[in-house]
């Protein structure tokens, strides 16, 4: 990786913890000027202070919150060259999940991306350059047992990223979908027994996911994944292999049937 990120203006949402904080650190280390966003204002300020960035705490999903973030970032950076839509929520449950759980997942995991690009695209298309990174997770490729709202909205986030890439690549927009499996974050901690059984044993560190993201962006890859060595060693790096792996371990899962029967709850709102 060379100087692809030196001097660029970057925004990372959900950057107070987990993958977002690791992305902010990695981008700053690569020379980017970083705006750190998170609902947790203290965490956003702490990460910004650590990396020499600028904290812009607040909502990164609603119309007003996204507009305020984009305005604050432009005031600080002059132009936004890279937007990392990393903030996310992992609401659990299946068809029985409360409407509010589905709505929260839809607003944060999908519409936050739509609203950001609605504001960013005019400038990017006028300049003929821009970069959008969506933290999708492998749930957007596979599924997350016990969490239908998360799985469905992550598939939607991937679909939106694909649409952006197909529609605007010829005009200079570069789009990337970061799709790791388990990552040791507060979100993984909040997924309950399903996440602990399926993901925790092979989870990677946030810094590993961030490093994969920067390598993938530098290589102009759309789909960026960093599945654990445990899975790779079983020839399960691809989609079908990961599905086979997931179902192969289900007999060891002491969770009962159905797998979505746990009470609906939300994990912290940053990946």
- The residues annotated with a catalytic role in the active site are 150
- Phi/psi of residue 205, nearest 5 degrees: -85, 150
Euclidean distance between CA atoms 269 and 89, whole angstroms = 5
Using the Cα atoms of residue 164, residue 148, residue 58 and residue 187 in order, give the sign of their dihedral: negative
Inter-residue contact 149 to 108 (CB < 8 Å): no
Residue 232 backbone zone (phi > 0: left; psi -120 to 50: alpha; other: beta): alpha
- CA of residue 74 relative to chain centroid, distance: 22
User: Which SS3 state, helix, strand or coil, does residue 110 take?
Assistant: helix
Name residue, tokens 């944060």.
108
User: Which SS3 state, helix, strand or coil, does residue 271 take?
Assistant: coil
């Amino acid at each position: 990786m060379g100087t692809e990120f030196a001097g660029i203006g970057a925004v990372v949402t959900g950057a107070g913890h987990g993958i977002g904080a690791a992305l902010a650190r990695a981008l700053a280390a690569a020379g980017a000027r970083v705006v750190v966003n998170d609902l947790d204002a203290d965490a956003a300020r702490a990460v910004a202070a650590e990396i020499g960035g600028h904290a812009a705490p607040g909502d990164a999903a609603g119309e007003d919150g996204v507009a305020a973030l984009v305005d604050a970032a432009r005031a600080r950076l002059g132009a936004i060259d890279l937007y990392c839509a990393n903030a996310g929520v992992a609401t659990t449950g299946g068809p029985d999940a409360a409407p509010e759980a589905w709505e929260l997942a839809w607003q944060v995991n999908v519409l936050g991306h739509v609203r950001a690009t609605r504001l960013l695209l005019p400038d990017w298309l006028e300049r003929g350059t821009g970069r959008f990174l969506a933290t999708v997770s492998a749930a957007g490729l596979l599924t997350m047992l016990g969490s239908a709202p998360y799985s469905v909205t992550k598939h939607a986030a991937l679909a939106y990223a694909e649409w952006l890439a197909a529609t605007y690549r010829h005009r200079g927009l570069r789009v990337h979908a970061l799709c790791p499996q388990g990552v040791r974050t507060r979100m993984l901690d909040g997924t309950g027994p399903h996440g602990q059984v399926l993901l925790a044993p092979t989870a990677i560190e946030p810094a590993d996911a961030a490093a994969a993201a920067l390598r993938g962006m530098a290589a102009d890859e759309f789909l960026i994944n960093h599945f654990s060595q445990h899975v790779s060693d079983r020839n399960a790096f691809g989609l079908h292999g990961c599905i086979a792996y997931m179902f192969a371990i289900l007999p060891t899962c002491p969770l009962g049937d159905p797998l979505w029967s746990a009470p609906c709850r939300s994990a912290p709102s940053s990946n």
